[in-house]
Amino acid sequence: MRKRTQPRSAMSVRQLKVGTEQNFVYLLVDEPTGEAMVIDSGWEIDPILSVASHEGLEVKYAAVTHRHSDHSSTVWQLAQALDAKVVAYRDSPVTHDISVDEGDELWVGRSKVTVLHTPGHTEDSICLYDSADLFTGDTLFIGNCGRTDLFGGSSRKMFRSLRRILELPPATIIYPGHDYGDAPFRELSEEARLNPTLSAKTYAQFLAVP
């Protein structure tokens, strides 16, 4: 587990690698209150439960970034164990308690988390932004972006979603849904320079990325 605290934010991040497909799941914690949000659940929940119990966290939400089973299959089991509410995009096939859309806000303790609807990998893909960190699921990886050739995927929508992410402050830390890159997280300014799917200025350039 990696733990990172942003000096300009009351929020801190626990990054956990779970399952057999290099999934990252996250605990986003409002340090003054100990209230937390889990982002994705992966194939196993014990590592998440262990950290939450050890640190005495009160987990308010279990959010899923998109429908795929390696991110959502255990979310209800996790939510029940933590007495948390499941959060997903409004049209997601994942059964959920709270529906969200672009611009919606979730409060974790005294801290605000904003929803970005980022279709492209799936139609129900969302990213979660706490003003310092962006949790991108399978929309954006370190060094690449998510596949668009699966059910619900769209290259054109992915390109627009990535351009939307580039509008965020350069110091934003990108936290992906899988450990596929050469680093577990990276500042957006650096990722924009190194990641060809972000540096593509036009849709044609984006399509030409291997």
**Strands ordered across the beta sheet of 105-108:** 105-108, 111-117, 126-129, 133-137, 173-176, 186-187
Domain assignment present for 58: yes
Domain housing 140: 8-207
Domain assignment present for 1: no
Q: Kindly report the length of the chain.
A: 210
Question: Beta strand pairing status for 140-141 and 111-117?
Answer: unpaired
14 phi and psi angles, rounded to 5 deg: -110, 120
* CATH number (domain holding residue 15): 3.60.15.10
Q: Tell me the β-bridge partners of 141.
A: 144
- Asked if residue 187 lies in contact with residue 170, where contact means CB atoms within 8 angstroms, the answer is yes
Per-residue pLDDT of the chain (210 residues; tens, 9 = 90+): 766 655 556 899 999 999 888 999 999 999 999 999 999 998 899 999 999 999 999 999 999 999 999 999 999 999 999 999 999 999 999 999 999 999 999 999 999 999 999 999 999 999 999 999 999 999 999 999 999 999 999 999 999 999 999 999 999 999 999 999 999 999 999 999 999 999 999 999 999 998
Domain assignment present for 24: yes
CA nearest to 82, candidates 42, 51, 112, 105? 51
User: Count of domains in the chain?
Assistant: 1
